[in-house]
Amino acid sequence: MIEGMQWNIGNGSTVRFWSDNWLPSGITLKDVTMQLIDPLLASATVDQFSDGNGNWQLHSVLDLIPDHVIKQILGCTSLM
């Protein structure tokens, strides 16, 4: 990605939550996690963390991701 550009992730169903660099900062979440990611969560896509009404559903990962990164996620428009 070119600096300053943002990836349009569409409905998020093909964007891997942990391993794609979908955040504006370009980081991948697997690189900043504070614990090992449960294998059941490791293949999750971005749409699995949205309720489809514009609200993020991050309760299952709050203890895995640093607060400053959670704020970055919450600053992104959730999927509808």
Overall domain count for the chain: 1
> Is 3 part of a structural domain of the chain?
no
Q: Which helix (H) or strand (E) holds 5?
A: none
Buried residues in 54-76 as b, exposed as e (16+ CB within 10 A): eebeeeebeebbeeebeebbeee
d(CA 44, CA 64): 14
> Is 1 part of a structural domain of the chain?
no
pLDDT for res 29: 96
Higher pLDDT residue, 79 or 49?
49
pLDDT in tens, 5-62: 555 677 889 999 999 999 988 899 999 999 999 998 999 999 999 988 879 999 999 9
pLDDT for res 52: 81
pLDDT at 75 over 60: yes
Q: Domain of 46?
A: 10-80
What pTM value is reported for the model? 0.84
Q: Is 54 helix (H, G, I), strand (E, B) or coil?
A: coil
